Copies of this chain bind each other. A is one copy, B any other.
Amino acid sequence: MAIELDAFDCKLLMEVQRDAQIPQSELGARVNLSTAAVNRRLRRLADEGVIDRYAAIVSPEKTGHPITVVANVEVESEQIDLLDAMKRTFARCPQVQQCYYVAGEWDFVLILAVRDMDQYTELTRQLFFSNNNVKRFKTLVSMSRVKVGLEVPLVASAE
């Protein structure tokens, strides 16, 4: 599953994870490679799926979704088709940014971006109260987004 990455790959990935707009020529200068080599490596990394995709990161505040909510959910039954249905429901909801199926005290952890608490209340109806397989859920409202990203740690030494 994991793919061999040399020091050049790691450095390139670290850069483009932070900023995908750096021109390949500039990347080449930073890691000591020609632009063509940078181009080939980035293409290879994308083909191999190491780079999943390139995306614009949009500010939730500026777009009127200032509230981040973490919701923990416990299910009634772990029957596979019930779980799959829940996963689909959660994944389909646009306000759900992330959904993890976890082991521990809870079964699901959701991260939501909402306009206000009214919208969240409405979502709890849709996602939790109207779902018979939700046993209970607990809400944590974020007061500050200390760090938000999807960056993967890549020490340059990793092989």
B-binding residues in A (CB < 8 A)? 1-3, 5, 13, 16-21, 48-66, 68, 70, 72, 87, 90-91, 94-106, 108-109, 111, 113, 138-155, 158
Can you tell how many copies of this chain the complex includes?
Answer: 2
A38 to chain B minimum Cβ distance, whole angstroms, is 13
- The reply to whether B55 and A57 form a contact with Cβ atoms under 8 Å apart is yes
A86 smallest CB distance to B (angstroms): 9
Please state if B152 and A60 are interface contacts (CB–CB under 8 Å): yes
Could you list 11 examples of A-B contacts with CB < 8 Å? Answer: A16-B56, A19-B55, A49-B59, A50-B63, A55-B55, A55-B57, A55-B149, A57-B150, A58-B150, A58-B154, A60-B152
Known A-B contacts A63-B152, A103-B143; the reply to A17 vs B138 at CB < 8 A is no
* Contact call A150/B97, Cβ cutoff below 8 A: yes
Q: Chain B nearest CB: distance from A5 CB in Å? A: 7
| Residue contact A91 to B158, C-beta cutoff 8 Å | no
- In the complex, A150→B105 CA distance in Å? 25
A62 cross-chain contacts in B, Cβ below 8 A? 1-3, 48-50
Contacts of A155 in B (CB 8 A): 94
Known contacts A54-B21, A57-B51: A147-B102 contact under CB 8 Å: no
